[in-house]
């Protein structure tokens, strides 16, 4: 059995005492098993003496940003969506006393499911006859998220109620200018086109910020989303930004020549709904005008290009000490910039 005192991020004694004293029907001793870690929030499976499974989330051990690793905020968001049609784990408790575990943490129910990280996992776990059902569940869940009234579920003050796109464009253009490692005219031209064609903000809802299959647990047997995970980037904003991001990550076999790394996407295995089908189903479920879908796809490709370039810059300056293939980062940014510009130039045509 793993020595629980050696689990980075968990102080077994105080955490066990807090959980057994706070959450009903939790029996000591507890076994803690890391599920995910790194620069994002740390996730642990907790198994009690009776075999009950729960999940504990806490900030990373280093490089903590208050806005990105706010456990109180994340717990609040997941709890708010509990009564809605958005599949979320049930939250069971929040600990803000840092004396217990060195940082705030929260506990939620364990949800069975598979995370479709890549094409190989899809091939191994999701039957071909369940992939359309899963497609529908993914887009229906997004529609439920975006049609939930922020005020009614207690999230009306989660972020600003207007100006989302303009803030995002200016923020990431500033990041691009600060971290760029070379001249890349496609990024600059796309920014100009996005600013010029910025649509009127007709909707302001809760947005997830990283909505894709890799941030969900799915039930392969039923072809349904079992839980939406990783709410760190959640805020109030333009819901079509989430749609654009999902569409960019919804890469089919036919995209293999256009998208760098296309074969690694979970949908590249085939058998899923097309992007147009997703857009149509989303529009029907939300009533939103989706005529500008390509604008939001261009924005998300451009934004991701700025993000990846920033990571490349940090590696080149030695801020990140892992050895990586810098050329692979450049190729990825080049591909993202090219796809963003292609969509931006084609808007309205």
pLDDT in tens, 242-300: 999 999 999 988 786 555 555 689 999 999 999 999 999 999 999 999 999 999 999 99
- 100 Cβ partners below 8 Å, 6+ apart? 11, 14, 15, 18
**C-alpha atoms less than 13 angstroms from C-alpha of 179 in its C-beta half-sphere:** 21
Q: What percent of the chain has pLDDT over 70?
A: 91
Whether the predicted pLDDT of 38 surpasses 70:
no
pLDDT at 1: 40
pLDDT at 303: 96
Among 139-148, 151-160, 250-259, which is the least confidently predicted range? 250-259
To the nearest 10°, report the CA torsion of 218, 224, 229, 235. 150
pLDDT at 263: 66
Across all residues in the chain, what is the average pLDDT? Answer: 91
- In total, the chain counts a number of residues equal to 349
Whether the predicted pLDDT of 65 surpasses 70:
no
216-241: b or e for each residue (b if 16 or more CB lie within 10 Å)? bbbbbeebbbbbbbbbbebbbbbbbb
DSSP 114: B
pLDDT at 323: 75
Confidence of residue 66 (pLDDT cuts 50, 70, 90): very low
Q: What percent of the chain has pLDDT over 90?
A: 81
Rounded CA-CA distance 317/309 in Å is 12
Q: Was domain 4-109 assigned CATH 3.30.200.20?
A: yes
Whether the predicted pLDDT of 93 surpasses 50:
yes
Q: Which option is the CATH number for 119-346: 3.40.50.1000, 3.90.1200.10, 3.40.640.10, 3.90.45.10?
A: 3.90.1200.10
Instruction: Tell me the per-residue pLDDT of 4-37, one tens digit each, with 9 for 90 and over.
Output: 558 899 999 999 999 999 999 999 999 999 997 5
CA distances in angstroms from 243 to 106, 171, 206, 275, 283, listed in the order given: 29, 20, 12, 10, 10
Whether the predicted pLDDT of 68 surpasses 60:
no
Nearest residue to 313 via CA among 190, 177, 187, 209 = 177
- Ordered by start, the domain boundaries in the chain are 4-109, 119-346
Whether the predicted pLDDT of 175 surpasses 80:
yes
Confidence of residue 316 (pLDDT cuts 50, 70, 90): confident
Whether the predicted pLDDT of 326 surpasses 90:
no
Whether the predicted pLDDT of 53 surpasses 80:
yes
Whether the predicted pLDDT of 63 surpasses 70:
no
pLDDT at 2: 43
Whether the predicted pLDDT of 222 surpasses 50:
yes
Among 19-23, 69-73, 113-117, which is the least confidently predicted range? 69-73
């Amino acid at each position: 059995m793993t020595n629980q005192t050696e689990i980075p991020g968990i102080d077994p004694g105080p955490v066990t005492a807090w959980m057994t004293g706070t959450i009903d029907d939790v029996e000591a001793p507890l076994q803690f098993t890391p599920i995910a870690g790194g620069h994002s929030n740390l996730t642990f499976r907790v198994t009690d003496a009776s075999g009950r499974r729960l999940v504990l989330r806490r900030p990373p051990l280093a490089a903590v940003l208050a806005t990105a690793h706010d456990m109180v905020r994340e717990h609040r968001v997941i709890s708010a969506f509990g009564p809605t049609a958005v599949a979320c784990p049930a939250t069971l408790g929040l600990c803000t006393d840092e004396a217990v575990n060195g940082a705030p943490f929260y506990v939620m129910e364990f949800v069975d499911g598979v995370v479709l990280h890549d094409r190989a996992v899809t091939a191994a776990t999701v039957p071909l006859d369940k992939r359309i059902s899963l497609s529908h569940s993914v887009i229906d869940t997004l529609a439920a998220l975006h049609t939930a009234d922020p005020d009614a579920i207690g999230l009306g003050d989660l972020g600003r109620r207007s100006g989302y796109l303009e803030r995002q464009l200016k923020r990431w253009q500033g990041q691009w200018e600060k971290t760029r490692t070379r001249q890349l005219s496609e990024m600059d031209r796309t920014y100009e086109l996005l600013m010029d064609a910025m649509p009127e903000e007709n909707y302001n809802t809760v947005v997830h910020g990283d909505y894709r299959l890799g941030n969900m647990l799915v039930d392969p047997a039923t072809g349904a989303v079992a839980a939406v995970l990783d709410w760190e980037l959640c805020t109030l904003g333009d819901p079509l930004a989430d749609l654009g991001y999902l569409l960019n990550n919804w890469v089919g076999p036919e995209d293999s020549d256009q998208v760098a790394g296309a074969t690694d996407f979970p949908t590249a295995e085939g058998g899923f709904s097309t992007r147009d089908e997703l857009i149509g189903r989303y529009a029907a479920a939300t009533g939103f005008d989706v005529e500008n879908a390509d604008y939001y796809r261009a924005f998300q490709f451009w934004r991701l290009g700025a993000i990846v370039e920033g990571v490349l810059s940090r590696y080149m300056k030695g801020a990140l000490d892992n050895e990586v293939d810098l050329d692979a980062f450049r190729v990825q940014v080049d591909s993202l910039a090219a796809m963003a510009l292609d969509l931006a130039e084609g808007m309205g045509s």
